[in-house]
Structure 1
Amino acid sequence: MSDYEYPASLTHDLNRAELLNHLQNRLDDARFQHCLRVEETARTLAKRFGADVDRAGLAGLFHDYAKQIPVADYKRVIMEDGFDPDLLNYGRGVWHGLVGTWFIQTEVGLTDKLVLQAIERHTTGDPEMTLLDQIIFVADFIEPARTLDAEVAARKAAQTDMRQASYIELKNTLQYLIAEDKIVYPKTLLTYNAFIPKEG
C-alpha cells in the first residue's frame, strides 16, 4: 500500500500518521486493512474516471471509520443530535454511513462536504449519487479481498461504467436483504430504481 499524504485543506492539517491513528483507535485490524484497500481502489477508480483523486482516497480511507462504534452510542447520537428518529429502526449497516459522518466530524475534524457526502451515501446509495459517491460505493464492494460473483462482476463493470457497477452492487444488496428477511432502507430501493439500466 502507498502512503498517501492529503492536502491540508481536506484534512485540517492532519498528516497521514495522525489520520491512520484515528482509524486504528476505532477499528480492529481487519477493518483497518479493508479501509486501506478501499482507499487504494477509490484512488484508482478516480484516476480512471477523472474524479478528484484525493477526495476519493480520503473518503475511501474513512468510509468505515464508524463501522464498529457501539450501538448505544449511535442511538444516543440519533436521539440527541437531530437525526431522523426512523433511523432507530435500522442498524450499524446503515448508520455507519448516514450517522458515521457525525463521528468523523466531531472526532477527526474532517469537514469537506463532498468527502462526507460520499461516506454518507456508501451504505444506502442515493438516487442522485455523484461520480465521487459512486466511486466510494463501488470501491467498498470491489476492493481486492472481495471475491463473490457479484463483486467480481462489479469489478469488471467498473473498468468502463460506474453506473453499471453501482447497479450490480445495488441489485446484490437488495437480493441479500430480501433473502435474509432484513429490512430495506427506502432510499436504497429508490437508488436501485434510479440506476436500473433503461431499455432502448
Structure 2
Amino acid sequence: MEREKALQLVKEQITEHRYQHTLGVVETSIWLAEKYGADVKKAELAAIFHDYAKFRPKEEMKEIIIREKMPKDLLEHNEELWHAPVGAYLVEKEAGVEDPEVLDAIRYHTSGRVNMTLLEKVIFLADYIEPGRKFPGVEEVRELAKQSLDKALIKSLQNTILFLMKKNQRIYPDTFHTYNDLLLKLEESDT
C-alpha cells in the first residue's frame, strides 16, 4: 500500500494530535529499522497503522475481542491495550493489509510478547520514543536506542511497569513476560 493512501486511511480514524504522534512513530520506526536491519517498508506501514483503532468505541473493541476469540484476559486489563490487537484485526479487514509481520507488529505494540520479532521491537520502541513523547525516562530510552534496541526495550518496559505499579493499575501478563524474555536473552548474550 502506498504511504499517502495509508496515511489518509489512518487520518480519518484518529485525532489530529494522534496523527502527529503517528507521523513521529513513522519517522522513528524508519530510523530504527535502518539502524537495526528491519524491513523499512514494513516498519513504515506498521507504524502508520499502529493506532488505527485507538479511537474506536470501547464497546466495539470489546465485541471484536470476544467475537474474534482474542485473549479474554485483555478484557481484565486496561482498555488502552485493546486498540493494538483490535487494530491489527481492523487493518486487515478494512485496509486490506495482509502481511502477518506487519499485523503482528501492530498487534503487540502495546504489550509486547515473548520472542518478539525485530519488526515488532522496532514498532514497540518507536511508539515509546517518538519525538513528541515527553515523560520522565523517555530521554534515557532514546539514548539507549542509539546503542542497543534490546536495552532500550528493557528500559521502556521497566519504566512502563513501574509507572503502572505507582498508579495501582494491573499489568498485562505479556508485558511482564516480554520484559523477562528480553532480560534473559540479554544476560545470555553477555555470557
TM-score, normalised by the number of residues in structure 1: 0.88
Which of 16, 19, 24 aligns to 2:3? It is 16
- The one-letter code matched in structure 2 to 1:103 is L
Cα pair 2:33 2:43 within 8 Å, conserved: yes
Establish whether residue 54 from structure 1 lines up as the match of residue 46 from structure 2.
no
In 2, Cα distance between equivalents of 1:43 and 1:18:
18
Bigger relative contact order (CA 8 A; separation at least 6):
2
How far the C-alpha of 1:70 sits from its partner, in A, is 0.7
CA offsets, 1:136-187, max 9 Å, x none? 1110111111233421111111112000000011001100111111111111
Secondary structure, in 3 states, of the residue corresponding to 1:26? coil
Secondary structure, in 3 states, of the residue corresponding to 2:147? coil
In 2, Cα distance between equivalents of 1:84 and 1:129:
17
Match of 1:83 in 2: 70
Cα pair 2:30 2:44 within 8 Å, conserved: yes
List structure 1 runs of 4+ shifted beyond 3 angstroms: none
How far the C-alpha of 1:32 sits from its partner, in A, is 0.8
Match of 1:115 in 2: 102
What are structure 1's unaligned runs of at least 5 residues?
Answer: 1-10
How far the C-alpha of 1:92 sits from its partner, in A, is 3.2
CA RMSD after TM alignment: 1.5
Correspondence 1:97-108 to 2 at 5 A: 97-108=84-95
In 2, Cα distance between equivalents of 1:21 and 1:85:
32
Seen in structure 2, the aligned counterparts of structure 1 residues 148 and 86 have a Cα distance that, compared at 3 Å, is: closer
How far the C-alpha of 1:109 sits from its partner, in A, is 1.0
How far the C-alpha of 1:102 sits from its partner, in A, is 0.8
Cα pair 1:122 1:133 within 8 Å, conserved: yes
How far the C-alpha of 1:50 sits from its partner, in A, is 1.4
Cα pair 1:146 1:152 within 8 Å, conserved: no
Match of 1:4 in 2: none
Establish whether residue 146 from structure 1 lines up as the match of residue 133 from structure 2.
yes
Cα pair 1:98 1:123 within 8 Å, conserved: no
Seen in structure 2, the aligned counterparts of structure 1 residues 94 and 145 have a Cα distance that, compared at 3 Å, is: same
In 2, Cα distance between equivalents of 1:139 and 1:91:
21
Aligned residues: 187
Match of 2:172 in 1: 185
Establish whether residue 159 from structure 1 lines up as the match of residue 146 from structure 2.
yes
Match of 1:7 in 2: none
- The one-letter code matched in structure 1 to 2:180 is N
Establish whether residue 95 from structure 1 lines up as the match of residue 90 from structure 2.
no
Secondary structure, in 3 states, of the residue corresponding to 2:131? coil
Cα pair 2:22 2:47 within 8 Å, conserved: yes
